[in-house]
Amino acid sequence: MTLLEVKNLKKVYTTRFSGNHVQALTDVSFSVEEGEYVAIMGESGSGKTTLLNILAALDKPTSGEVLLQGKDIVAISEKEISAFRRQNLGFVFQDFNLLDTFSVQDNIFLPLVLSGKAYREMSKRLKPLAENLRISDILAKFPYEVSGGQKQRAAVARALITNPKLVLADEPTGALDSRASDDLLEIFSKINQEGQTILMVTHSTKAASHAGRVLFIKDGAVFHQLYKGSLSNEAMYQKISDTLNIIATGGGRNE
């Protein structure tokens, strides 16, 4: 079943003082099936963050539609948007976005607190998740007391505790050393195998090689896509590298 449909998204930024127009997204269309793990790649300035912000309902497109299970998130009112985000989406960011004055556990509970869940219910949900993500022993600590890898695993727990339909990740390995990156990628693969749909923006060929499909964005539009199928991570890595080379050297769509 189709979970996410993105139709003809266009985003033009108008700078306030000069009145200049920047076309960040020209015409982006794609869809994501339930249970897919999709990576989005593209050079700096190609519109990845703009796209992710629109999918996260943090920004509105100039035109186009974003349907999550058929519901147009562009049309949701400001009043309903926070609840919609909490009920449907999980976020993992490059810089973790944990609150330093909250313990790891309270950070993870935050989306549930905001939706008014009882403590018992929150604890019940956290236990297996914390074990799965190997953070059971750091729940009482504060973010500044734990490693980058542990912080990101806590951020993943925070994203998953609401059972979101879709996890959106923006460069989730960007601030991690290579061991913690590998670890995070394994976790993403595992939660995907357990059924979680993931959409991840990344610069990292290695990270993208774990996904089931890679979309390449160029000049504000989807330029190409690769399916992993039965390829190994290594073979997928090579295919992604080749595609990035074609994009960087200005190759055409049909090469």
Ligand X SMILES: Nc1ncnc2c1ncn2[C@@H]1O[C@H](COP(=O)(O)OP(=O)(O)O)[C@@H](O)[C@H]1O
In the complex, which residues of this chain contact Mg ion (CB under 5 A)?
48-49
Does the footprint of ligand X cover residue 204 (CB under 6 A)? no
| Strand ranges of the sheet holding 63-68, from the earlier edge strand across to the other edge | 71-72, 63-68, 2-14, 21-33, 221-227, 213-218, 37-41, 197-201, 166-170, 89-93
State the first-to-last Cα distance of the chain, in angstroms, to the nearest integer. Answer: 31
Nearer to ligand X, 46 or 162 (CB): 46
- Which of Mg ion, ligand X, none interacts with 13 (beta carbon under 5 to 8 A by kind)? ligand X
- Which of Mg ion, ligand X, none interacts with 15 (beta carbon under 5 to 8 A by kind)? ligand X
From the list 39, 73, 66, the residue with the least C-alpha distance to 213 is 39
Which stretches within the chain are classed as H helix?
Answer: 48-55, 78-88, 104-114, 119-132, 148-160, 178-193, 205-208, 233-248
Site map 150..169 versus ligand X, x via CB under 6 A: --------------------
Site map 13..52 versus ligand X, x via CB under 6 A: x-x------x-x-----------------x-xxxxxxx--
- Which of ligand X, Mg ion, none interacts with 50 (beta carbon under 5 to 8 A by kind)? ligand X
Q: How far is the CB of 48 from Mg ion (least distance, A)?
A: 5
Torsion 4-34-50-203 (CA) sign: negative
Nearer to ligand X, 66 or 112 (CB): 66
Nearer to ligand X, 20 or 249 (CB): 20
Q: How far is the CB of 213 from ligand X (least distance, A)?
A: 18
- Structure tokens given for 101: 């004055």
Q: How far is the CB of 13 from ligand X (least distance, A)?
A: 3
Nearest residue to Mg ion, using CB?
49
Nearer to ligand X, 50 or 162 (CB): 50
Which stretches within 40-102 are classed as H helix?
Answer: 48-55, 78-88
CA–CA distance, 1 with 90 (Å, rounded to integer): 20
- Which of ligand X, Mg ion, none interacts with 102 (beta carbon under 5 to 8 A by kind)? none
12: DSSP letter:
E
Neighbouring CB atoms inside 10 A of 79's CB total 8
Nearer to ligand X, 107 or 202 (CB): 202
- Which of ligand X, Mg ion, none interacts with 237 (beta carbon under 5 to 8 A by kind)? none
**Could you identify the residue written with the tokens 């339909």?**
165
Binding site for ligand X (CB under 6 A): 13, 15, 22, 24, 42, 44-50
